[in-house]
Structure 1
Amino acid sequence: MGVVNVTPDSFSDGGRWFKPGAAVAHGMTLIGQGADVLDVGGESTRPGARRVPVDEELVRVLPVVEDLTRRGAVVSVDTTRAVVAREAVAAGAQIINDVSGGLADPDMHATVARTGAVYVAMHWRGHADVMDDNDRYDDVVADVRRELAERVAALRAAGVHDEQVVLDPGLGFAKAGSSNWPLLARLPELVADGFPVLVGASRKRFLGHLLAGADGEPAPPLARDGATAAVSALAAQAGAWCVRVHEVAGSADAVRVAAAWRSGAGGSPITMTREDTP
């Protein structure tokens, strides 16, 4: 899943693809590098980010979704708002990627049920301006699994079918640092819960801290792509359905290596078609 940020303030590439034409061109480049899905978002969820008005989010996202869909891309819309999700699906998006798992908008689950779209429910404990205050866990893996199970129960109650649901452990969201590593190390436990799993580690803070220099300064976002590719390979080996990344080529190669390693055969790359979505 290649990231297409139609925002001026995303943490790693804010502003580079803000204009619709630039965003579409970037998305097509990512497809050429091996992306199977393009995740289009119009609101930054970086730590401390402020919300944008819903009308602004729609203006940013819809033209990009429409154009990419027209060009044959499988498109995901990255939003916490039901109205944006509904309009994006009407414009051609097949996946709703909601970092709040429906907690940010009480209408989201009903929207998912009505549209029939694939829905990524991420583990979430609050918006970007407060999420770091919620990095408190007894056992982060057990707590995340339990809270995601609550999201699944709410989705079922709203009429969403299990076949629509993908789970995301929410790396970096209410997990500022060390809380992320147990989730990755024990990823097979989340996979074992029976739903496809999306992993979004790309360029996140905990990788920057891991790669800090001798002065203790975290590596900047653009210097985290090698570590991101390593996570992609390990996530694929652990059974993840998809990885969400900013730099596609390295992770696509890493997933191919993981697949060849697992099969012992090498050769054919993994690709996802429209029929492969849950």
Structure 2
Amino acid sequence: MKNDTSTVENLQEENARLRQRLTELEQSDTLLYAILEYIPLLLFIKDTKGRHLALSRWYEIINLVERNKVLGKTDSEIVDETGPSAEIVERYRQEDIQVMETGQPSVQEFTISGDFGQVSTYASIKFPLYDRKSQIIGVAGIATDITEQRISEQQRAALQQQLLDAQERRLRELSTPLIPITEGVIVMPLIGIIDANRSQQILETLLEGVARYQAETAMLDITGVPTVNDQVAHTLLQAARAVRLLGAQIVLTGIQPTLAHTLVTLGIDLQGIVTYSSLQEAVRRTLVAD
């Protein structure tokens, strides 16, 4: 009789444990359902064969699929229904296999095109699923919409580029300043080393200034240019020819003895170019002549 009582008690305890376990499983199932129903993410769970075990509601909405038509099926089984192309399905499957074989998550970005031509960008991660014995039982994937983030990044990059462009324009203006000193007369004081890029900038700014101010005389002051080489000499001659084509006269100022010697050594012919030793002298004589 005692043994019978002990057996009944053991069965009651086991029954209580099973009921407790059942309650825990029901709670887990309820929690999982709530997560899948309301989480604003694309989420899926597949077994090792690639069969869908769970989908989030957001996954259904974005991919235009119905959960009851996808669960229990692989991607290849829904290709002819509402799924992606066979090529994409194969790529998905290989990615899933790699994640399960390596045990390493896979992170990437992808885009989804909407019915009205809009394109959404998603950041996704796939990761392996294990049971309590550390055996692979499947793969899960989560993707979040980062379209607004990418748009913001593009806008910031565009704004930054605009600022850089504005800064570059300002630096160009400072490196090749153009000053109208009187009607028909403009001055461009040059300071610093003149390289190929700056030479082109000097020429463009000078010609734009002659046209804008309808200048008859354009003065180039090279007092602040530390060295005169072939590049500088070529720039001066090119500027003189271009200005003459616009019907204006080029005046070169800041010619010092050492600079004159350098020009002669380089074989630079300044014939047809009016030169002065200083900008002040050039301005004074030009104004007196007017």
TM-score where L is the length of structure 1:
0.28
**Higher relative contact order (CA closer than 8 Å, sequence separation 6+):** 1
Q: Which protein has the bigger strand share? A: 2
- Structure exhibiting the larger radius of gyration computed from Cα positions: 2
TM-score where L is the length of structure 2:
0.27
